[in-house]
Amino acid sequence: MTQQTQPIFIMAEGNTRTYGKDAQRNNIMAAKLVAETVRTTLGPKGMDKMLVDSIGDITVTNDGVTILNEMQIEHPTAKMIVEVAKTQEDQVGDGTTTAVILAGELLKNAERLLEQEIHPTVIVKGYRMAAAHAQKKLLEIADDLKKNDVVTLKKIATTAMAGKSAEASGEILGGLLIQAVNQVVEDDSSVDLDNIKIEKKVGGGIEESELIKGIVLDKERVLESMPKKVEKAKVALVNTALEVKSSETDAKIQITDPNQLQAFVEQEEKIIKEMCDKIIESGANVVFCQKGIDDIAQYYLAKAGIYAVRRVKKSDMEKLAKATGAKLVTKVDELSKDDLGNAGKVEAIKQGDDDMTYVTECKNPKAVTLFLRGGTQHVVDEVERAVKDALGDVVSALQVGKVVAGAGATEMELAKALREYATTLSGREQLAVQAFADAMEIVPRTLAENAGLDPIDMLTELKAKHDGNNKWAGIDVFKGKVVDAWKMGVIEPLKIKTQAVKSASEVAELILRIDDVIAGSGGSKEPQMPPGGGMGGMPGMM
Dist. CA 354–CA 228, nearest whole Å: 15
Dist. CA 247–CA 245, nearest whole Å: 6
Dist. CA 477–CA 481, nearest whole Å: 7
Dist. CA 292–CA 263, nearest whole Å: 24
Beta bridge partners of 276: none
Rg from Cα positions in the chain: 31
Strand order of the β-sheet with 368-374 is 196-202, 368-374, 210-212
Q: Looking at this protein, which amino acid is placed at residue 38? A: V
> Closest Cα to residue 95, out of 8, 17, 159?
159
Q: Is residue 475 within 8 Å of residue 459, measured between CB atoms? A: no
Dist. CA 381–CA 386, nearest whole Å: 9
CB atoms within 10 A of CB 57: 9
Active centre residues (catalytic): 63, 96-97, 389
* 3-state secondary structure at position 2: coil
Dist. CA 3–CA 535, nearest whole Å: 18
Cβ-based neighbours of 73, under 8 Å, separated by 6 or more: 34, 79, 82
Looking at 242-292, which runs of residues are DSSP E strands?
286-289
